[in-house]
Chains A and B, each alone.
Chain A
Amino acid sequence: MTDVKKSTRRAFMGLASAGGLLTLTGCDKLISTPWFMNVIDSAEALSRSVQRAITGSRPVAREYAESDISENFRQNGTTNPQNASYQTMVANGFADWYLEVGGLVDKPLKLSLAALRQLPARTQITRHDCVEGWSDIAKWTGAKLSAVLDIAGVKPEARYVMFFCADPMGMNGNYYESIDIPGAYQPQTILAYEINDQTLPVAHGAPIRLRYETQLGYKQAKYIMRIELVDSYAKFGRGKGGFWEDQGYEWYAGI
């Protein structure tokens, strides 16, 4: 190779790596400017409305066979809430636990575990997709959320169902989540009290956790204590609709 060619090549490589570095630091800078991220976040509304339009308002996730069930369903997020009143409930087998249902409803409710088990139930073997990328399959049994909501009577102005949980998340208060009303009425949306035919253990969210198939793992709130129907989630936590949403994750967790 001639010297000229060599030096052109060197100059080219130099330029390319300098360009690479510049774009890198430039991108990191852009990402920390609010207007840029506002543009980026326009995609979330697009994903939400397009996915809804093409899959309908009552989508049903694939249900698997017994043989597909994961040997060890991952214990993810909180696995044992460090919360004294919760631990007391665990100690007496959730005998004095009850689910509160309030907010924009005609008739606020307090449902014991026994009462919840009397409600129309559903069993489904479904896939749990974590936002990190992995998937596990388990069999869930629980009361249909629609049944609970129908007893309480959802007021027309209600837009979201909030779930308040027993697991403390450091300075951020307790875990919480929100889903919209059509999501709450999807046929597979249940308050699960059993996993793989066993009473739901503490590691998986005892006494009940949400199964909202068609959405990622962080929507599947564990250790649910209270349900509240609201017209906006802005006044809870940092206002984004859930613990992970407050940390920057999308509210729409369908992708």
Chain B
Amino acid sequence: MTDISLSGGRKLVYRHRLVVRITHWFNALAIVCLFMSGLQIFNAHPELYWGPKSTFDHPILSMSADTDDDNNDYGTTTIFGHDFDTTGVLGLSSNGNGQMVERGFPRWITLPSASPELAVGRRLHFFFAWMLTINGLIYMGSSLLNRHVQRDLVPTKQDLSAVGKDIVNHIRLRFPRGEESRKYGVLQKITYLAVVAVIVPLMILAGLTMSPRVDAGFPFLLTLFDGRQSARTVHFVIAFTILGFSMIHIAMVVLSGPINNLRSIVTGWSSIEEDKAP
């Protein structure tokens, strides 16, 4: 699509294809619902282990509630044997009627918010897991065919030599405004590529490894993740990795011009500065 000149030395450039825009928003919806229903499922047994089976006496991570000598309830999160007081958030939190109850993650971050709601949590989770997977296949399939991945996401040699500069610019919150902003910066390329080609696929595989039926058909998954309980732990850790990515991603969108960024990922068109003739 050709650029459209605007007044004031600016122009509109076509930045995102329709498939990318549509799959981006289905993906965002699926990720939010998966994260929140996933924490609901986690709450059914808020403990993580490594290996094929649960070593109940030695969880890697656990959340629980207890009562102290003064009869006060408190919530504890134990990570690698170290206890942290997480009263009000993890282990012990409000049930929504002002009463404190034992639950892993609090109601404002689980779906449904009430707990225990494992059955509904699972049904939601698997629905959105299918949405994420089908949507992801459409995105990946089309983006490999139309070479979006190869052209716009895989960093070039030239890109890679500018990583240092790009890091400094990010720290200074200096973002390109002119011709340079037509394309993703190198940090953006590396991050997006890692998310779509490594992190999300690993997430899906770790999730499938928790399915006893899939394990029977593809036992190498159990070997890949070192067992079903480790797959559950990896799945949990990746969930928070994706949360971390999403928060930085949204922060960057806001810091580098939220209106223009949102217009471009909704309509496809982005406004950039005309480079001044040398």
**Which A residues form the contact surface with B (CB < 8 A)?**
20-21, 24, 27-28, 31, 37, 39-44, 46-47, 51, 54-56, 59-62, 64, 68, 70, 72, 74, 127, 129-137, 213-216, 244, 247-250, 254-255
- Using Cβ atoms and an 8 Å threshold, which residues of chain A touch B52? 64, 68, 127, 135, 137
Report how far A41 CA is from B126 CA in the complex, Å. Answer: 9
Report how far A29 CA is from B35 CA in the complex, Å. Answer: 19
- Using Cβ atoms and an 8 Å threshold, which residues of chain B touch A134? 45, 47, 49, 54, 56, 229
- Using Cβ atoms and an 8 Å threshold, which residues of chain B touch A137? 52-53
* Contact mask for chain B residues 195-232; partner A; CB cutoff 8 A; 1 contact, 0 none: 00000000000001011111111110010000011001
Assess whether B11 is interfacial by the CB under 8 Å rule.
no
Which one, A24, A213, A247, A248, contacts B113 given CB within 8 A? A24
Verify A51–B211 contact, CB threshold 8 A.
yes
- Using Cβ atoms and an 8 Å threshold, which residues of chain B touch A47? 126, 130
**Which B residues form the contact surface with A (CB < 8 A)?**
36, 41-42, 44-45, 47, 49, 52-54, 56, 108, 111-114, 118-120, 122-124, 126-127, 129-130, 208, 210-219, 222, 228-229, 232
Verify B124–A130 contact, CB threshold 8 A.
no
Given contacts A127-B53, A213-B216, contact A46 B118 (CB under 8 A): no
Report how far A72 CA is from B57 CA in the complex, Å. Answer: 11
Report how far A31 CA is from B113 CA in the complex, Å. Answer: 10
Verify B44–A250 contact, CB threshold 8 A.
no
Verify B212–A127 contact, CB threshold 8 A.
yes
For A41, the closest partner residue in chain B by CB is B123
20 contacting pairs across A/B (C-beta < 8 A): A20-B108, A24-B108, A27-B111, A27-B113, A31-B112, A40-B127, A41-B123, A44-B126, A61-B215, A61-B216, A131-B44, A133-B210, A136-B54, A247-B119, A248-B120, A249-B119, A249-B122, A250-B122, A250-B126, A255-B213
Verify A43–B44 contact, CB threshold 8 A.
no
Verify A255–B56 contact, CB threshold 8 A.
no
Looking at the assembled complex, report how far the CB atom of B268 sits from the nearest CB atom of chain A, in whole angstroms: 25
Report how far A254 CA is from B126 CA in the complex, Å. Answer: 12
Looking at the assembled complex, report how far the CB atom of A19 sits from the nearest CB atom of chain B, in whole angstroms: 12
Report how far A44 CA is from B120 CA in the complex, Å. Answer: 12
Given contacts A61-B215, A134-B45, A134-B56, contact A40 B108 (CB under 8 A): no
Which one, B42, B53, B124, B214, contacts A55 given CB within 8 A? B214
Verify B123–A250 contact, CB threshold 8 A.
yes
Given contacts A27-B112, A133-B232, A249-B119, contact A43 B212 (CB under 8 A): no
Verify B119–A248 contact, CB threshold 8 A.
yes
For B54, the closest partner residue in chain A by CB is A134
Which one, B49, B53, B129, B208, contacts A68 given CB within 8 A? B53
Looking at the assembled complex, report how far the CB atom of A41 sits from the nearest CB atom of chain B, in whole angstroms: 6
Verify B53–A43 contact, CB threshold 8 A.
no
Report how far A248 CA is from B124 CA in the complex, Å. Answer: 12
For A68, the closest partner residue in chain B by CB is B52
Verify B123–A130 contact, CB threshold 8 A.
no
Report how far A250 CA is from B118 CA in the complex, Å. Answer: 11
- Using Cβ atoms and an 8 Å threshold, which residues of chain B touch A70? 53-54
- Using Cβ atoms and an 8 Å threshold, which residues of chain A touch B42? 133
